[in-house]
Each structure stands twice: as C-alpha cells, then as structure tokens.
Amino acid sequence: MDDIDRALVLRLQQDAGQSYAALGTAVGLSAGATHERVRKLRERGVIRRTTIDVDPAAVGSGVLAYVMVDSNAWMGESADDFAAIPEIQEAHIIAGSASVLVKVRTASTEQLQDVLRRLYAIDGVSGTHATVVLDSFFERPLPL
C-alpha cells in the first residue's frame, strides 16, 4: 500500500470505468503493471468490488432518515433481523444511550413510518428515534 496504490484507489473511486492505460499514465505505470497492481488490491480486499453510484431519488428512495434504535437486550446477534428490512441501507452497533443506528431510505414518509413499525417488531427493540434528513450537503468517497 504505497503512494501509487493510493493514487489508483483514489482514481478508481472517481471513475472505475477508465482504461488501465489511462490509469497507468496518470500514476506513471504501464497498462500491464497497473492491471497487476489493481488485481492485488482486489486480492487483498482493499478493493471489495466495482459498483455504480445510483441517484436514490431516481429509484424511488427520495426520503432519507437516520433512526436511533433503543433496546432492552443485547442486539449483537440481530444483524439478520435488520438486514431483512430492505429499506435499511446501513445498521451499526453504537456506543451511547441507543444501541443501534440505522440509515433508512424510502419513497415517502408513510413508508418510513412502516419501517419504524417493522423495527419495533424486532426482538429486543424497545424504542426508536427517527431523524429525517431535509437536505444532503454531500455524500462522497473515503478520504485517502
């Protein structure tokens, strides 16, 4: 993981569709060497996969909310219960008064309410506190 690797990751985050030749020129390598570097970055798990960045509003997920989930039991084994709710994009165990923090995207506030209902149905969940996002400043890739 040297400077060249970091430069490659950075550039691939910005555009994973460019050719290895272009990528190589940008970092000062041949296409072949670039290909080999990227292959190893995948192998090591630094690069998990190549994907697309989708506009949430365009696919019916215009409402974004974060929900603090309170519980009266250990939630460490409940990952599957949260994963079973497709509108949940992220779920994390947190330190603090609440136990779990989830990121939810829905088409409407009515659907958000329905997600809250399904959250309450999870074993151990004793309460929720939803924070609706009014406007997103930005969502961007990791720093390097």
Contact call for residue 86 and its own copies (CB under 8 A): yes
Q: How far is the CB of 84 from its own copies (least distance, A)?
A: 11
CB-CB contact of 78 with 59 (8 Å): no
Give the C-alpha distances (Å, rounded to integers) separating 48 from 45, 56, 95, 126, 129.
5, 22, 27, 35, 32
* Contacted by 43, from its own copies, DNA, none: CB < 5 to 8 Å by type: none
Q: Which of 40, 19, 21 is nearest to 29 (CA)?
A: 21
Q: Between 110 and 140, whose beta carbon lies closer to its own copies?
A: 140
Please tell me whether residue 2 binds its own copies under the rule CB under 8 A: no
Count of other CB atoms within 10 angstroms of residue 75: 21
Q: In 3D, which of 113, 71, 115 has the Cα closest to residue 94?
A: 71
Interaction residues for its own copies, span 12-51 (CB under 8 A): 12-17, 44-51
Binding residues vs DNA (CB under 7 A): 4, 18-22, 24, 28-33, 35-37, 40
Q: What does the binding site for its own copies look like in residue numbers (CB under 8 A)?
A: 1, 6, 9, 12-17, 44-56, 58-59, 61, 64, 66, 76, 78-79, 82-83, 86-87, 89-96, 98, 100-101, 105, 131-144
